[in-house]
Amino acid sequence: MPEIEYKFEDGISTIAINRPEKKNSINLEVMNGIQLSLENALKDRAKVIIFKGNGGFFSAGADINQFFTMDEKTAYEFSLKGNNLMNQIERYPGVTISAISGGALGGGLELALSTDIRISSKTAKIGLPEVTLGIFPGWGGIKRISRILGNGIGKYLLISGKYVTGEEAYNIGLVNFLDDNPESYAMAMAQNFKGYSSEAIEKIKLLLLQDVYSEDLEAAYFGKIVVSPTAREYLQKFRKR
């Protein structure tokens, strides 16, 4: 049974972690499967990617069993591999959505934080509990949760390892939308996003990732995109309304 299921249809890709008996915990095979799925999404020119977990649970995070066989070098490489993967998700030239049922914990939440939009059920358990295991988030979750929530709430969740519910996560801005069926909600949202320009979305995402915002880079991107065939097509459609 594959540990990652990839599907593509009509501009929308779905990447599902398929280890329900392990609460979709993430090992090297899962990471490699997500990497391959991202490559397939690029080849398919998917405008939207939905991430989910099979069996009613998004992901319990890294499979801790693999930590017991690591030395310092392999732990370093594991963290670097995870960071590179999350960066690829974050920079995907289209919209990425996490549909969170059951829970998104540790590395599972780090994956969700790498996506553009997070949709959760009210009762899902969400958090970064690594500190309670004597470690810390190693796939970029520290910078991303701080960017999303600020150092106040973000730091508290990091150093306490506290879980919040999906509803609490929504109230503090950690998730964007609540729904009893996050996957259906994500698919309905994806149907809207697939009609948008991936070129424009990619540039918005790249501009937002700058450490120091550059108006010159914004202007350079804007100049190129205004004269692009895609923009001309969208502008012509709008003018004909």
Is there a catalytic annotation at residue 130? yes
- List 3, 9, 72, 130, catalytic entry: 130
17-63: per-residue pLDDT in tens? 999 999 999 999 999 999 999 999 999 999 999 999 999 999 999 99
Average pLDDT over residues 109-113: 98
Neighbour tally for 232: CB within 10 Å: 11
Alpha-carbon torsion (194, 200, 204, 206), positive or negative: positive
Can you list the pairs that 187-191 forms with residues at least 24 positions away whose Cβ atoms lie under 8 Å? 187/12, 187/50, 189/97, 189/117, 189/119, 190/12, 190/48, 190/50, 190/95, 190/97, 191/12
What length is written for the chain? 241
Q: Given pLDDT bands bounded at 50, 70 and 90, which one contains residue 1?
A: confident
Whether 157 has a pLDDT exceeding 90, the answer reads yes
Q: What are phi and psi of 115, to 5 degrees?
A: -90, 165
Give all domains of the chain, ordered by start, each with its CATH number.
4-193 (3.90.226.10), 198-239 (no CATH)
Displacement of CA 207 from its chain's centroid (Å): 17
Rounded CA gap, 122 and 109, in Å? 15
Across the chain, mean pLDDT equals: 96
Amino acid occupying residue 95: V
- Give, in order, the Cα–Cα distances in Å from 31 to each of 28, 36, 142: 5, 9, 19
Rounded CA gap, 121 and 175, in Å? 10
Rounded CA gap, 185 and 10, in Å? 17
Q: Which helix (H) or strand (E) holds 182?
A: helix 182-193
- List 3, 110, 183, 199, catalytic entry: 110
Q: Percent of the chain at pLDDT above 70?
A: 100
CB 66 within 8 A of CB 29: no
pTM for the full predicted model: 0.95
Q: Given pLDDT bands bounded at 50, 70 and 90, which one contains residue 136?
A: very high
